[in-house]
Amino acid sequence: MARYVYNPHVMRFWFSLVFVCSGLFAQSKALPIGSGSNKRVKIEATLSLDKSAVEKAVGHAMEEGFLVVEVRVTPLAGNVLISPDDFILRSDKNGERSGAFSPHQIAGSSVMTLNQRSSGGGVSREENGRVWGPIGGGRPQRLPDSSPTIASSGGTTETVATMSQTRGKESPLLGALKEKVLAEKESAEPVTGQLYFLMEGKHKVKQLELVYNHNAPETRVFIRFKE
């Protein structure tokens, strides 16, 4: 019977090989995808949820809380006007929803105001207040004199951003976002690009839903993601 002779160099080689292979497997893990269609368009979407996936998708680090959805919009009935404003991202976790942010809202030399409107359960809360920007220069913070408005309403939370221009140096993130963002255009051919959403807290893939044409019930498309 052959005897096994322990060789530390061989053992280190095998441990290194296992470590490298596990790293390659993690890097090659497919991103969550989803699709949907109506009579006018077909939409295919890929979700980058965690911070490392977002950075890889954009090619630049972004602040915590931003999610990236890359979409391919294929017109099915001639020319279709395609716009990032047609999309929202919502979560089953707490009813939160976010419209798509423009590159300048994320990384431009401006001040952004985030208004969170909550509705449902009999009481709604609307927080209004200026937020320091740009996000590309650091996480925005609401000013101390911001005060919420309480009213009777429904059960969802929506993040809305408004901008006011200020002087300042543009973030290097801006160029990367402008290059990859979904462009607003009328087209009869497939159009691809990225959408940027801001969601508070942690959300699971199964909790997120991309909605197209959210203001037009008769042509809405609901897209769930699968890992």
CB 58 within 8 A of CB 180: yes
Query: What pLDDT digit, counting tens, does each position of 34-93 carry?
Result: 999 999 999 999 999 999 999 999 999 998 999 999 999 999 989 999 999 999 999 999
Query: What pLDDT digit, counting tens, does each position of 114-143 carry?
Result: 566 666 554 444 444 434 344 444 444 333
Query: What pLDDT digit, counting tens, does each position of 138-180 carry?
Result: 444 333 333 333 333 456 666 565 555 545 566 789 999 999 9
For 161-210, the DSSP string reads EEEEE---PPPTHHHHHHHHBPPPEEESS-EEEEEEEE--S---GGGEEE
Q: Which residues of 37-71 are buried (b: 16+ CB within 10 A; e: fewer)?
A: ebeebebbbbbbbeeebbeebbebebbebbbbbbb
54 three-state secondary structure: helix
2 three-state secondary structure: coil
CA angle 132, 66, 29 (to 5 degrees): 160
Please give the pLDDT value at position 132: 36
pTM attached to this predicted model: 0.67
